[in-house]
Amino acid sequence: AGVLRLILGDQLSMDIASLHNCNKSEDRVLLAEVKEEATYVKHHKKKIVLLFSAMRHFASSLKDSGYQVIYRHYDDDDNQGSLLAEVKKACTEHQFDKVVVTHPGEYRLLKSMQQWQHQLGVPVEIADDDRFIATITQFKEWVEGRKQWRMEYFYREMRKFTGLLMEGDKPVGGKWNYDQDNRKSLPADVSPPKPYTVAPDDITQAVIGLVESNFADHMGDAKDFNYAVTRAQALDVLAQFINERLPDFGDYQDAMREGNVWLFHSHLSFYLNCGLLLPMEVMRAAEQAYFDGDAPLNAVEGFIRQILGWREYVRGFYWHCMPQLQHDNYFNHQRKLPVFYWTGHTNMNCMRQCIGDTKRHAYAHHIQRLMVIGNFSLLAGLSVEEVNAWYLLVYADAYEWVEMPNVSGMILYADGGNLASKPYVASGQYINRMSDYCKNCGYAVSKKTGPKACPFNYLYWDFLIKHRQQLGNNPRMGLIYKSLDRMSQETVDAMQQQANELLLTIDNA
């Protein structure tokens, strides 16, 4: 009798759906560290430390609250290696009436769970994940009958639905979006505050050792891990963000600086995505800072838009577009990932810095992911499948529901423009405007062709030329194609030739 309640590594919330109506004396809660989840892509070492340590801490809070927990450690002698096998084992050890799990964040796991009932001979209930603000059905209903699925309009619906930053049915301040104020570069004399860190406790230290010995060939280093792993610590990260960074979040949202990956971003995605923080509490805290006069509207609206708009939108988009999304490849791009995506060794300083930050921290901020690494991935025609696998394993906040729409939709335009109204491509000029990377680069950002020319420049034009048929009719690309048409044939030929040469020996770029 009783219910087996499975909690996944990214479901570490006390009021997760699978715990609703739990009978603490009869039911069991299962958490399992398993090889299948830890290696279906070779996750960054810090990502595995984060999840295993957070899972262990969460299990102990559950016990403190009176739940009966079955916890499977990765190095238990009889660890079964997969979630299904662990559930099966638990079901042979106890007689459960049913198994309850919350809707997982990845399609592969959902499809697998939908078969579990047959494999286990016990009913399996998959509860909606109500940590999200919009349900999957709500997004589908919004999409239906719409030609274009622009995030901005979905976001406005979500503002009305939640009442966040609303005065009756009007947006606070009179405008829905203050993005124009949020594109400043970072002046040299502005120093962002130090990021939150916490010394690893005994549990985290044990996990670091485990990860070092079992996942030695995964990216990164586990030893200097110092992220939050409990809800109390994650709440400290939130408080520190609201007090120290939120006021400047808007202004410098798109800026990049060599040697500082953290800037004025919140660094909350790690905790939002594994369940230690809930999106609504995070947004309410930001909204309160505006009402208290502690942060300006452009910062608070911009921050709330990332969560209420983008985060909710990509989640709905993922479930609406799967499984097709994982096969989409609009430009039929197939090039293998260059070696420097793993080593960080490249002459392009912007890529060196952004990949280096990623390797060190299992983190890079949005514009690094989008306008440097993402931009290069599209301009160089890299394989959609390989780029997706890379983004899913390198970032500690990556799960397919959020990674794939950002990669296939936002950076690679592989869905042919359902998510983005035009490809997010830019030449080196953009990177130079928003960062200090070009100062320390062997390439010259001012040059379009010639031995020192910045690869982003000629790859950009080469990309536009190659894909004119697919992009030329896009009204948002009109001006760019007009400037292409004003270039001399000689320049165009030289850029194309140089692009071909670089792409042939891309590992040396």
Binding track over 308-337 against ligand FAD, x by CB under 6 A:
--xx--x-----------------------
- CB of residue 35 to ligand DLZ, shortest distance in Å: 8
- Burial zone of 92 (CB within 10 Å; 0-12 exposed, 13-18 middle, 19+ buried): exposed
How far apart (Å, rounded) are the C-alpha atoms in residues 358 and 253? 18
With tokens 């079955």, the residue in question is 70
> Which tokens go with 4?
């087996």
- Burial zone of 9 (CB within 10 Å; 0-12 exposed, 13-18 middle, 19+ buried): buried
Closest CA to 309 of 150, 467, 189: 150
Asked if 348 interacts with ligand SF4 (CB under 6 A), we say yes
How far apart (Å, rounded) are the C-alpha atoms in residues 370 and 410? 8
**Which residue in the set 55, 276, 445, 477 belongs to the binding site for ligand SF4 (CB under 6 A)?**
445
How far apart (Å, rounded) are the C-alpha atoms in residues 361 and 193? 17
HSE at residue 425, side-chain half, CA atoms within 13 A, is 26
Q: Which stretch binds ligand DLZ (CB under 6 A): 3-11, 115-123, 277-285, 369-377?
A: 3-11
The binder of 129, among ligand FAD, ligand SF4, ligand DLZ, none, by C-beta within 5 to 8 A per type, is: none
Asked if 116 interacts with ligand SF4 (CB under 6 A), we say no
Q: Which stretch binds ligand SF4 (CB under 6 A): 23-31, 62-70, 260-268, 343-351?
A: 343-351
DSSP state of 382: B
Q: Which is closer to ligand FAD, CB of 67 or CB of 318?
A: 318
With tokens 């696998």, the residue in question is 389
Q: Which is closer to ligand FAD, CB of 67 or CB of 249?
A: 249
- CB of residue 199 to ligand DLZ, shortest distance in Å: 23
Asked if 10 interacts with ligand DLZ (CB under 6 A), we say yes
Q: Which is closer to ligand FAD, CB of 158 or CB of 398?
A: 398
- In contact, 283 and 304? CB cutoff 8 Å: yes
Binding track over 368-407 against ligand FAD, x by CB under 6 A:
-xx---x----------------x---x-xx---xx--xx
**Which residue in the set 105, 195, 279, 428 belongs to the binding site for ligand SF4 (CB under 6 A)?**
428
Q: Cα(first)–Cα(last) distance of the chain, in Å?
A: 62
DSSP state of 374: I
How far apart (Å, rounded) are the C-alpha atoms in residues 251 and 264? 9
- In contact, 38 and 74? CB cutoff 8 Å: yes
Asked if 33 interacts with ligand DLZ (CB under 6 A), we say yes
Closest CA to 276 of 15, 6, 43: 15
The binder of 396, among ligand FAD, ligand DLZ, ligand SF4, none, by C-beta within 5 to 8 A per type, is: none
Residue spans of alpha helices (H) in 72-185: 83-93, 107-120, 136-143, 151-162
> Which tokens go with 354?
């952004």
- CB of residue 303 to ligand FAD, shortest distance in Å: 6
Residues forming contacts to ligand DLZ in the complex (CB under 6 A) are 8-10, 32-34, 37-38, 43, 48, 51, 104-106, 109, 399
Residues forming contacts to ligand SF4 in the complex (CB under 6 A) are 348-350, 428, 431-432, 437-438, 441, 443, 445, 454-456
Residues forming contacts to ligand FAD in the complex (CB under 6 A) are 265-269, 272-273, 303, 306-307, 310-311, 314, 365-366, 369-370, 374, 391, 395, 397-398, 402-403, 406-407, 410-411
